[in-house]
Amino acid sequence: MKIASLAQYLLPHRLLSNLAHRLAYSKTPWIKQNFIYTILANFDVNLAEAANSDPDSYESFNAFFTRALKPGARSPDADPRALILPADGKVSQCGIIENGRIFQAKGQDYSAAELLGDAELAKAYANGVFMNIYLSPRDYHRVHMPWTGTLTETLHVPGRLFSVSPGTVADVPRLFARNERLVCHFDTDFGPMCLVMVGAMLVSGVETVWNGVNIPEYADAPKRLDFRGKNIRLERFAEMARFNYGSTVILLFPEGAVQLDEFEHQAPTVLGRRMGLRLG
């Protein structure tokens, strides 16, 4: 294991994330501008497509990082039957959920039951399809619906906050099933669909369009919310959630529900980066 990955076991994850959260929401000009211009200097951020292209006008670093895009900057695939990429980012892994297990990286996997925090709900995805989408600091950080669905429940699973960088993902066993995450279950016209918003080092902030801030609040036990009967229906391409900083979204689909385009079994790809592109 690399030293950088090993060191993360010793770091005070929540303390660092809490500090990062405070700094990200600070309205002190020199603090927010220092963070914003550091990102602009080190990552290929396209501010021309942002609804607000003036970096000095954002009230905080978090406001900049979760910025909206101009109308038309992203659009869904024209085929109404196409499953679409829910976020800007890299599809780092995808494939079949074999024997209830999800491929993480060479030599690493974890169970769907661990990831979802519910062995019974995980049964719906036996032999189904998974997809990991990694968001870097340069990306648009709002997550949209890959398909129309009605929210049934969420589960906030407390956990660690390891980095989700490719090097750490390759090193840390069961990383996505260990990190703090928000598991979102939907009913669709093809059956259940699950989107898992995975937190990471300095990235514990997740907000949803139906419930505002879900992470933090930090918790010591899983927190389940039942939305059945609330009629929270989100259309394909509609915004569903956002990260305060780059992280990972994991999609789960039942066996036979979707057919992915041009994806080899468990093969990483550098597809896209643009939300709305066709996946299958």
- Distant-in-sequence contacts of 71-76, Cβ < 8 A, 24+ apart: 73/49, 74/140, 74/274, 74/275, 74/276, 75/237, 75/276, 76/236, 76/237, 76/276
**Helical H segments across 26-160, by residue range:** 29-42, 61-65, 112-116, 119-122
Question: Are the C-beta atoms of residues 111 and 100 closer than 8 Å to each other?
Answer: yes
Q: Which of 141, 144, 156, 185 is catalytic?
A: 144
Angle at the Cα of 127 (from 259 to 187), degrees rounded to 5? 70
Q: Which of 5, 88, 109, 204 is catalytic?
A: 88
Question: Are the C-beta atoms of residues 154 and 185 closer than 8 Å to each other?
Answer: yes
Q: Which of 5, 17, 204, 247 is catalytic?
A: 247
Residue 17 bears catalytic tag: no
Residue 185 bears catalytic tag: no
Short-list 86, 92, 269, CA closest to 164: 92
Question: Are the C-beta atoms of residues 222 and 157 closer than 8 Å to each other?
Answer: yes
Residue 21 bears catalytic tag: no
Task: Count other Cβ atoms within 10 Å, centred on residue 229.
Answer: 7
The catalytic residue positions are: 88, 144, 247
